[in-house]
């Protein structure tokens, strides 16, 4: 079974400690129970009990400390971090968020050459600390070009920092907050560390109405010495972007966890409810919505797992992950919204009830496409890879599932955050050609026509500057990459071809939808519109296969998991 079931933790790990962490984390939440989980959410209770558990079990320390900075029991292992991400999302976005912000806060530290600060971070993790990432500002968001935080020289090796940071999770408690700014005078970028407990650190307020603490903080002549500086100049700039490259990947897992829990709750409710002398799950439209939700969720997980493999095999010579990670961030999180919408249309008013997990899920799933760069920002990034992806493939060794206990040190030695247009990818065509399923074949036809669009109706200079036009183009390109990695992973995980064909039923419809959007853009030419019409396809219906997927995989989830009260 590809979906997480906390009652049946069957994922295999190469070591006992990893399995123990997952089991103990699940046990913590199951003991807490849904009623208390929801009470804490409604009352916006800071999750001190969870952080105390993390401290006692040394979980963040074990999972987020590279082995070079510990006594040998730790490593930064993306494979096992995936499941921890998913488990936290499954029980509540707030618990995932404090973990995510800690990951972002550690990025500039582990990427730094400052060994003393690295050792301090490792000790703080061992002591149960959380971290924060001081990048965004209220006026500029994450536009790092425009940062106004200044580091001013005072004397030899001494500086003072002044400025404000906004939307900074964990910042009321974090003892090390890498803060992004510019050196006064030279304008060089820098990352330096501040402590939230220092008297010159002013934590103004929590800017959100949630369990999380998302701070607005001010620095007023905050003293900084040379030992507090993590990076300068180009290195600081690269660190900002590379940290987000690592951190944005995790958002897909939060969506997967939320949707999985919501799916169990929705199917349990619908399968036990009778209307018009029928169970709700007997209605054909309900079966369709549940089947779509299930297939989209399985696709989300298959893609995100496969993206982990490319992240783990990355090097200066192989940076394919820089396309796949923003697609996790953009596509998987928006698919999460689609899954919740489908389930909500089934359970209707039940989704608003305060004792349902779903009420939390429906609210929180909206946040993920909007964090670590909006959907629009990530699509704008994704389209930079389009030319080489379609027209300049390179040879690479086949990438297997990478689930061994390696330390993913390259994530903190990514090098310059530039040259995206030079990155090449393996040829996607053989992946699709290995399959002979009706809807995969239709999807492949759509890809061929899209390539014709790019060659025969190439966007002109004005269209290439038109962000609205490029967003529609980017959605179609994203779908191609999405389908490719899903197929790669269905082979690795030996997914039933019936499920694969049903997944591509969804993707064919999505391709047609985005082709129609592109057709209807104000600047689309007659030739472009003509080709867009050729991309429109209706999935091949197979009632027998559809029924098997519904009965064997979707309706079979009824009663598989329910959180204790």
- Assess contact for 248 and 325: CB atoms under 8 A: yes
The C-alpha atoms of residue 505 and residue 540 are separated, in whole angstroms, by 7
Residue 128 in this model has a pLDDT that exceeds 80: yes
pLDDT tens-digit series, residues 168-208: 999 999 999 999 999 998 999 999 999 999 999 999 999 99
The C-alpha atoms of residue 502 and residue 292 are separated, in whole angstroms, by 8
pLDDT tens-digit series, residues 500-542: 999 999 999 999 999 999 999 999 999 999 999 999 999 999 9
DSSP at 134: B
* Cα–chain center distance at 449: 30
Q: What is the chain's mean pLDDT, rounded?
A: 95
Both structure tokens of 537: 């396809």
pLDDT tens-digit series, residues 80-95: 999 999 999 999 999 9
The C-alpha atoms of residue 558 and residue 107 are separated, in whole angstroms, by 41
Burial of 206 (0-12, 13-18, 19+ CB in 10 A): middle
β-sheet with 229-232: strand ranges across: 201-206, 214-225, 158-169, 150-155, 177-183, 189-194, 229-232
- Lowest model confidence (mean pLDDT) among 374-378, 385-389, 428-432, 443-447: 374-378
Write the CB contacts of 148 (distance below 8 Å, at least 6 apart in sequence): 137, 139, 140, 163, 164
Q: Is 189 helix (H, G, I), strand (E, B) or coil?
A: strand
Q: Which ranges in 127-231 belong to alpha helices (H)?
A: none
Q: Which ranges in 44-111 belong to alpha helices (H)?
A: 48-57, 59-64, 78-91, 93-110
Distances (CA, A) of 465 to 88, 468, 469, 528: 40, 9, 8, 17
pLDDT at position 227: 97
Nearest C-alpha neighbor of 51 from the set 133, 132, 151, 128: 128
List beta partners, residue 160.
152, 223
The C-alpha atoms of residue 151 and residue 159 are separated, in whole angstroms, by 6
Nearest C-alpha neighbor of 532 from the set 549, 517, 542, 547: 517
Residue 374 in this model has a pLDDT that exceeds 80: no
Location of structure tokens 């029991």: 73
pLDDT average, residue stretch 421-441: 97
The dihedral region occupied by 180, where left means phi > 0, alpha psi between -120 and 50, and beta the remainder, is: beta
In order of their start, the domains of the chain are 16-126 (1.10.540), 144-236 (2.40.110.10), 249-392+425-556 (1.20.140.10)
pLDDT tens-digit series, residues 15-73: 899 999 999 999 999 999 999 999 999 999 999 999 999 999 999 999 999 999 998 88
Residue 369 in this model has a pLDDT that exceeds 80: yes
Location of structure tokens 């689609």: 338
Both structure tokens of 158: 């001494």
The C-alpha atoms of residue 337 and residue 528 are separated, in whole angstroms, by 30
- Listing DSSP states for 33-54 in one string gives HHHHHHHHHHHT---HHHHHHH
- Assess contact for 103 and 250: CB atoms under 8 A: yes
What number of other Cβ atoms are within 10 A of residue 228's Cβ?
Answer: 22
- Residue 218: which pLDDT band, with cuts at 50, 70 and 90? very high
The C-alpha atoms of residue 442 and residue 446 are separated, in whole angstroms, by 6
What's this model's pTM, rounded to 2 decimal places? 0.97
Distances (CA, A) of 305 to 209, 353, 397, 402: 32, 33, 19, 10
Helix or strand holding residue 534 (H, E): helix 526-535
The C-alpha atoms of residue 177 and residue 171 are separated, in whole angstroms, by 7
Residue 373 in this model has a pLDDT that exceeds 70: no
Nearest C-alpha neighbor of 166 from the set 204, 117, 196: 204
pLDDT average, residue stretch 98-125: 98
The C-alpha atoms of residue 140 and residue 145 are separated, in whole angstroms, by 9
What number of other Cβ atoms are within 10 A of residue 352's Cβ?
Answer: 12
């Amino acid at each position: 079974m590809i979906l997480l079931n906390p009652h049946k933790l069957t994922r295999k790990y190469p070591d006992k400690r990893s399995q123990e962490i997952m089991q103990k984390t699940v046990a913590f939440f199951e003991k807490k129970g849904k009623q208390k989980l929801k009470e804490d959410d409604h009352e916006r209770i800071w999750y001190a009990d969870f952080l105390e558990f993390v401290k006692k079990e040394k979980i963040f320390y074990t999972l987020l400390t590279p082995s070079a900075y510990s006594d040998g029991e730790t490593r930064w292992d993306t494979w096992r971090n995936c499941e921890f991400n998913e488990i936290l999302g499954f029980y509540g976005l707030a618990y995932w968020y404090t973990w995510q912000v800690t990951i972002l806060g550690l990025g500039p530290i582990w990427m730094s050459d400052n060994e003393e600060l690295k050792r301090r971070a490792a000790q703080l993790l061992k002591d149960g600390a959380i971290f924060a990432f001081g990048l965004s500002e209220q006026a500029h968001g994450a536009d790092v070009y425009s940062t106004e935080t200044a580091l001013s020289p005072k004397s030899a090796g001494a500086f003072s920092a002044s400025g404000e940071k906004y939307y900074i999770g964990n910042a009321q408690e974090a003892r090390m907050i890498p803060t992004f700014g510019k050196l006064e005078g030279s304008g060089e970028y820098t990352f330096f560390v501040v402590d939230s407990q220092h008297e010159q650190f002013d934590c103004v307020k929590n800017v959100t109405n949630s369990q999380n603490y998302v701070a607005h903080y001010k620095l007023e002549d905050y003293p900084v010495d040379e030992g507090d500086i993590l990076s300068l100049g180009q290195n600081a700039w690269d660190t900002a972007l590379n940290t987000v490259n690592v951190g944005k990947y995790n958002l897909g897992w939060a969506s997967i966890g939320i949707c999985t829990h919501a799916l169990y709750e929705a199917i349990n409710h619908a399968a036990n409810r009778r209307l018009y002398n029928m169970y709700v799950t007997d209605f054909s439209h309900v079966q369709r919505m549940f089947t779509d939700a299930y297939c989209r969720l399985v696709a989300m997980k298959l893609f995100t797992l496969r993206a982990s493999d490319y992240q783990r095999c990355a090097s200066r010579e192989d940076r394919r992950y820089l396309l796949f990670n923003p697609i996790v961030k953009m596509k998987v999180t928006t698919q999460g919204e689609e899954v919740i919408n489908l389930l909500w249309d089934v359970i209707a008013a039940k989704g608003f009830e305060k004792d349902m997990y779903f009420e939390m899920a429906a609210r929180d799933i909206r946040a993920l496409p909007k964090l670590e760069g909006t959907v629009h920002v990530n699509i704008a990034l994704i389209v930079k890879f389009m030319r080489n992806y379609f027209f300049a493939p390179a040879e690479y060794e086949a990438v297997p599932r990478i689930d061994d206990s390696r330390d993913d040190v390259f994530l903190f030695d990514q090098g310059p955050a530039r040259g995206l247009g030079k990155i090449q990818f393996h040829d996607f065509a053989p992946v699709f050609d290995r399959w002979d399923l009706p809807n995969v074949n239709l999807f492949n036809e759509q890809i061929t026509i899209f390539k014709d669009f790019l060659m025969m109706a190439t966007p002109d200079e004005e269209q290439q500057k038109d962000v609205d036009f490029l967003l529609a183009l980017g959605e179609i390109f994203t779908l191609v990459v999405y389908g490719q990695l899903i197929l790669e992973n269905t082979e690795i995980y030996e997914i039933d071809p019936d499920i694969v064909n049903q997944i591509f039923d969804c993707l064919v419809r999505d391709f047609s939808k985005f082709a129609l959007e592109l057709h209807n853009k104000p600047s689309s030419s007659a030739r472009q519109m003509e080709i867009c019409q050729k991309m429109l396809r209706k999935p091949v219906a197979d009632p027998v296969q559809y029924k098997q997927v519904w009965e064997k995989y979707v309706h079979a989830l009824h009663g598989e998991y329910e959180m204790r009260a």
